[in-house]
Every structure is written in C-alpha cells, then in structure tokens.
Amino acid sequence: MRTHRPAPAVIDRNGLDQLVKLLIADGRTVIGPVERDGAIVLDEIESGAELPDGVGAETGPGRYRLHRRADRAVFNHAAGPQSWKRFVHPVRQRVDAPEEPRPLAFIGVRPCDLAALSVLDGVFGAAPHPDRRYQARRDRAFVVAVDCVEPGATCFCASAGTGPAATGGYDLVLTERVEGGHRFLVSAGTVEGEEVLERLTRRNATREEAAEADRALRGAAESMERSLPATDLRALLARSRRSERWQEIADRCLACANCTMVCPTCFCTTVEDVTDLRGGRAERWRRWDSCFDPDFSYTAGGTVRTSVASRYRQWMSHKLGTWHDQFGTSGCVGCGRCIAWCPAGIDITAEAAALAREEEPR
C-alpha cells in the first residue's frame, strides 16, 4: 500500500504529548481516545498522558473487550463505541440560540472515520441549505489522523475503499510503530498541519522506516477478515426489496437502534420544543433519532414502517444503496461498529453477502 505522502518526520511518545499541549495552547479543545468504563471512548483531554497506554480491543459480532497489550501502543485498538460525529453533530443541541463553539482538534481519527466525516460533510455541508452549526464546528477542526496498522476483527474498510491508510482529509497523519522503539511517523496534509509539524521536536524518517510503515499498512489491508461483496451494492439492494432475508434478520433484530447510534454516518434527528412549567419560555432542541424507532416514520396519523423487517431494510438499503442517489457516496465506511455493538450480533457484511448469494444461480 503506497500512501503517497511527503517524506515523513518522526516524533516519539513525548512528541505526541507536545502536540496535544501545542494544540491546547493554540486555543483548541482537544478530543482524543481515552480508556473509560471498559471501552475506548472519545473525550476532551488536557494532556497526552490521558491517551490510551498499551490497550487493545478485541471485537466480534456483539462483542467488544479491552485487553492489555505487551507494548505501550496508543492507537492500536479497534474503533470504539463512539465516533467523531458526536462532536460535529452533537447528540442533543439547542437550535434556536446562537453558539460560539471553541475550535476543536481531533487526535487519532482512523481512516474509516475520516471518510465518515467526509460523508457527513456531504450531508450537512451541501448547498443550498448547509447546516451552519455543523460547519462552524467542522471547518475549524484540526484533524490528526492515524493509520490503522492493526484492524479489528469487525473492520472492513479495505473493501469499503476507506482504509487502512489515511488518504486525505487530515491536517496531520500519524503511523504508530512500536517495534524497534515507540515512535510515530508524521506527515502533513495541509499548510496548517505543516506549521504545527514544524513546531514539534522531530527528525526525518529514514527510507527504511517509511518503507516499513507502508509494508505494515499493506499487511493490515491483507489481514482484514471481513469484506463487503464485490458487486454493485446499490443495484443489489434495489433488487432485494422483496427478499425473504429481511424477515430472517427481523427475527433476530431487537430494533434497539444501537447500530444507528454507533454508526459514524447515521445523521437522523428529531426536533423537540421544550417549555418551562408556566409556558412562558420555549426552547427548540434537536437530538439524534433512529430509523429503527417506529415513531421515526410517523406521518399523518400512522407509522409508515410498522415491521422490524421494513425498518432494517430501510437502514441497510439507505446505507449501501440509496445513499449513493442522495449524496453520491456509500453511507457505510466499513468501521464495523454496528457489528460489534449489535446485541444480536447482526453483521452488515454477512447480510449483504446473503443477499448477493440469493442471486447466484442454483
């Protein structure tokens, strides 16, 4: 895998702490992965010391467990239950009052999540009605991406075309290496990234270090256990509307909406008007909603999608099919979160493969 980046620099673990400190000194709220309650979550950090230290994650359908690693890797854990979506498209936000969010800096954005931010840009940033709250957060965010050298068992970014190497959409990109000394290869993707990189204590990477990082990324792509079927998924989903598979899935699906909550691209919301008890003050709030909620499709006196089968079909058909019609890309970036966090272990790659198999000649 060729990353086509300018010759990288190298920083050590202290250099990562220096990067966090520098972004905070520049007036940014720095968000990064932290270990909490048995998971890697994303939260504001005040120093690089809060980043994970030698924590790995084991994932599978309906499974996510942390474990101690033999090294002190910071970023070698699979995508956790949260995504960066919550910082540019908050879970709950008041929409009838002005706001002045502090500029953000994201540390450790995986390639699938970079792609997810780009997908959200297409949803919220597009003319003629861009979401100005989203744009205010997103446009000022400084993004430090990290290549995935150790994909999780639920990852399938290689077949989704989004990873495991970051190819754009970042200010800086890190490739973490632990063997032969803990260090991070760093390249800038923007002028702002270059300016930050110049302020870090660094050295040039050797040719062998850059080649070894490329080999690690190639190995990561080859080691991925899951993939989407190599077919036109948009057309497959359109042809599968009457498949019996939807009912098979519905027999397992709890309609809990976990898959939509953890998905880094699901963007649906509802709006609530809240008044005080005397009715003298009203506020308008927008909060995340899910197409798995029967009320989500409530229109003119009735719910349009009454069955779980119709709701799962809607979700998956939108993700892999009609998203292309609406936004020109797939709505799935291959992060695997919906597989790991589905309590029933329903796997979107297995379901897409099952639909593809139904079309094979017997």
Contact residues toward ligand SF4 (CB under 6 A) are: 253-259, 262-265, 292, 319, 332-338, 342-344, 346, 348
Nearest alpha carbon to residue 320 among 304, 308, 332, 337: 332
* Amino acid occupying residue 305: R
DSSP code of residue 167:
-
d(CA 269, CA 297): 12
Of 65 and 72, the one with the shorter C-beta distance to ligand SF4 is 65
Task: Report CA torsion sign: 34, 38, 41, 44.
Answer: negative
Name the minimum Å distance from CB 112 to ligand SF4.
Answer: 7
Name the minimum Å distance from CB 184 to ligand SF4.
Answer: 25
Task: Report CA torsion sign: 318, 339, 228, 224.
Answer: positive
**Residue reference for tokens 């957060």:** 137
Residues 6 or more apart whose CB falls under 8 angstroms from that of 343 comprise: 62, 254, 256, 258
Of 185 and 342, the one with the shorter C-beta distance to ligand SF4 is 342
Segment holding 9, helix H or strand E: strand 9-12
How many CA atoms does the CB half-sphere of 309 hold within 13 Å? 10
Name the minimum Å distance from CB 152 to ligand SF4.
Answer: 11
Of 161 and 343, the one with the shorter C-beta distance to ligand SF4 is 343
Name the minimum Å distance from CB 259 to ligand SF4.
Answer: 3
Of 56 and 336, the one with the shorter C-beta distance to ligand SF4 is 336
SS3 content of the chain, % helix, strand, coil (to 5): 35, 20, 45
d(CA 232, CA 324): 11
Name the minimum Å distance from CB 11 to ligand SF4.
Answer: 30
Name the minimum Å distance from CB 332 to ligand SF4.
Answer: 3
Of 166 and 335, the one with the shorter C-beta distance to ligand SF4 is 335
C-beta of residue 130 within 8 angstroms of C-beta of residue 120: no
Residues 6 or more apart whose CB falls under 8 angstroms from that of 282 comprise: 273, 274, 275
Of 159 and 190, the one with the shorter C-beta distance to ligand SF4 is 159
Name the minimum Å distance from CB 231 to ligand SF4.
Answer: 17
d(CA 333, CA 339): 13
Name the minimum Å distance from CB 345 to ligand SF4.
Answer: 8
Q: For the purposes of burial, counting CB atoms within 10 Å of the CB of 175, is it exposed (0-12), middle (13-18) or buried (19 or more)? A: buried
C-beta of residue 353 within 8 angstroms of C-beta of residue 75: no
Name the minimum Å distance from CB 119 to ligand SF4.
Answer: 8
Of 158 and 262, the one with the shorter C-beta distance to ligand SF4 is 262
Of 116 and 213, the one with the shorter C-beta distance to ligand SF4 is 116
Of 9 and 117, the one with the shorter C-beta distance to ligand SF4 is 117
